[in-house]
Amino acid sequence: MRARQSRQLKPKERRPKLATTMSQLLRNYIENPEELDASMRKWAPVVSGGLFSGAWWSWANAVISVDGPYPSKDVWPTMLSCVSLVLINLLSRDQLQDISSSGDDEANTRARLWLLFSFLLAFAAVGGSISVLVAASGASYEAIGWGSVTSTGLILLSSLLLWRYRSNDDGAW
């Protein structure tokens, strides 16, 4: 009986199970980064879709909360960020590596210019949403500015996550 009591930790010394499992997961991923990459390739499209839907939810929430009319040009940064998401993800990292290793310098340059244009478009959308926020500050439709910044930021995050971790190895899209 005494041996059993001595093995138990005092209540102050116990760690919560969640913290223990999280520290074990982080330790495993630090020791074996390939496992993290495989896990992220599996879950990144789901998280990316969640970020994309959260972006449109924040935009819809901002539009609903505005009482009066707002300028229709305030929609453009969010639309532009959606176009940049599509453009960024038309060329996957695997395809970019295949083009780079093919030896065709023109194709490599075209692919890199495509990505440069796509990322410039995405950051232009973020800049546009910040200008919408500045223009809307103090006006009755200030929520549109905050919704625009939030939505473009989340869509940019979504596109970066999807571009980084999506793979064509599984025969998926």
Tell me if 72 is assigned to some domain: yes
Model confidence pLDDT, tens digit, residues 78-108: 999 999 999 988 887 777 777 767 777 787 7
In 3D, which of 102, 78, 70 has the Cα closest to residue 150? 78
Tell me if 8 is assigned to some domain: no
- Domain of residue 152 covers 47-165
Are 126 and 77 a contacting pair, CB within 8 Å?
A: yes
Model confidence pLDDT, tens digit, residues 118-162: 999 999 999 999 999 998 888 777 888 899 999 999 999 999 888
Lowest mean pLDDT among 13-17, 88-92, 162-166: 13-17
Tell me if 149 is assigned to some domain: yes
Tell me if 25 is assigned to some domain: no
Tell me if 74 is assigned to some domain: yes
Give 151: exposed, middle or buried? Use CB within 10 Å, 0-12, 13-18, 19+: buried
Specify the number of domains making up the chain.
1
Tell me if 31 is assigned to some domain: no
Tell me if 9 is assigned to some domain: no
pTM across the whole model? 0.73
Tell me if 20 is assigned to some domain: no
Angle, CA of 160, 163 and 165, to the nearest 5°? 105
> Cα–Cα distance between 54 and 78 in angstroms, integer?
13
